[in-house]
Every structure is written in C-alpha cells, then in structure tokens.
Amino acid sequence: MQAPPPAALAARDLACRRGDRLLFRGLSLAMLPGEAMQVVGANGTGKTSLLRILAGLLRPYAGTVERGGEVALLDGRLPLDEHLPLGRALAFWERIDGRGYGAEARARWGLTALEDVPVRLLSTGQRKRAGVLQANARGAPIWLLDEPLNGLDSAAAEGVEQAVAAFCAGGGAAVIASHQPFTLAGMRRIDLADYAP
C-alpha cells in the first residue's frame, strides 16, 4: 500500500477574528503538490487575513495550519527600497535568498529595461511585476498570491496565469485570493461567504 503524498498545505478548522469581528470560521483545506485554489469573497471577508494565516504571519483565532515547505507571499506591498534603482533594490533580496533571480526571470516580467529606474518612479503594474519577482523567484514550493492581477495589463496578467500554471505543473501549490477571474485549468475554488459566521 502506498502512502498518500504529503500535503503541501493543510489547514484545519480555521477561524479568524480581526478586532471585534469574526471574519470566517470552520475553514479547512488540504492542498496537494501541483494543486491551485482560488479564494473568492467580497471585500472585507478575510481573503488577505486567510493568506496571512496560511503564511504563518497572523495567528488564527482557532485552528491549525501545516506547511510542507517554505511559503512565498505576494501581497499589495512592495518590499523594495523606493529610492534605489530596481536592480539594486532586488539585489538585496537576491543576497538574502542566496541566489540571483537571473536575466531570464527579469525579461519574463518585463523588468530588464527598468534595472536603473528608481523604484518610486515605477508604475502600478511595474511595481506589481517587480513584487512577483521578489516574492516568487526564490523557489518556494508554496505560493500565496493576494490579488496578483491588480494593476496588471492583460498581457502581464496572462503572464501571471501562465507562471502559476507552470509552477503547479512543476509540483507547486498555489493559493490565489482574487475577486477577478483567474484562468487556470483544474483550479479549485473556495468562497469565504460559505464560512461566514
């Protein structure tokens, strides 16, 4: 008898409270390597909080999370020094990760020509693409993406969808919180409205 493959990410009976408000409760999920899941829900229902709980940055009000490996989280913020040129700002994270992200990854996200542009001068979409590179290029087996398509043009959005598809095909597990349609074959959906108290 073969043992089932280890879960990439499992959560049991999660509840999240922010301030005085219970956002969701009784949420369980189990993801195998290669799976993708979209988290949907109206604004303020706890999509971002759920991803932060899954990443281990926020303590759940109840329940447990098990992670089968390192987690990459892409959220609305850009942890790059605003006054530095993009190349040098990214170099800090390349040193932390102990690996260069490479010219090929930069080219894929259309950042090659922006290497010498200060981060504060980047447009919304360019910032998002730089964020994708910063968060996801280090080879973590679990991706948590919070509104990854915000501010991206259709070509770049398609690029993100293809990147997630390739990542899952390579055995990665991805959770995508988005209220925009995200096209990915075989993606599961979880609606936070089902877990509202």
Partner 1 sequence: MSAAAAILRRDLALLLGNGRGGPLLPVLFFCAVAVLFPFAVGPDAKLLARTGGGVLWVAALLAAILPLDRLIAPDIEAGFFDQLALRGVAEEAVCAVRLVAHWLSFGPLLVLASVPVSALLALEGETLRLLVLGLLAGTPGLAAIGLIIAALTASLRSGAALAGLLLVPLAIPLLIFGAGALAGGDPAALAFCAAISLVLCAIAPFAAGAAVRAAREG
Footprint on this chain of partner 1 (rule: CB under 8 A): 52, 55-59, 70-73, 75, 77-81, 83-84, 92-93, 95-98, 134-135, 138, 140
Among candidate residues 109, 71, 114, 108, the one with its CA nearest the CA of residue 89: 114
Cα 118 to Cα 115: distance, rounded to the nearest angstrom: 8
When the beta carbons of 81 and 187 are compared against partner 1, the nearer one is 81
Residue from 98, 95, 57, 91 nearest 74 by CA: 57
DSSP 44: T
Q: Which is nearer to partner 1, 43 or 83 (CB)?
A: 83
Minimum distance of partner 1 from residue 21's CB (angstroms): 14
**Smallest separation (angstroms) from partner 1 to the CB of 181:** 26
Residue 145 beta carbon to partner 1: minimum distance, rounded to whole angstroms: 13
15: alpha, beta or left, given left = phi > 0 and alpha = psi -120 to 50? beta
Query: Is the Cβ of residue 31 or residue 144 nearer to partner 1 in the bound state?
Result: 144
Among 143, 104, 110, smallest CA distance to 125 is for 110
Question: Is 144 in contact with 54 (CB distance < 8 Å)?
Answer: yes
Nearest CB to partner 1, comparing residues 98 and 186: 98
In the complex with partner 1, the residue whose CB is nearer, 93 or 179, is: 93
Least separation, in Å, of the C-beta of 111 and partner 1? 18
CB of 103 to partner 1, least distance (A): 21
The amino acid present at 133, given as its one-letter code, is L
State the Cα–Cα distance between residues 70 and 184, nearest whole angstrom: 23
Secondary structure element (H or E) that encloses residue 65, with its range: strand 62-67
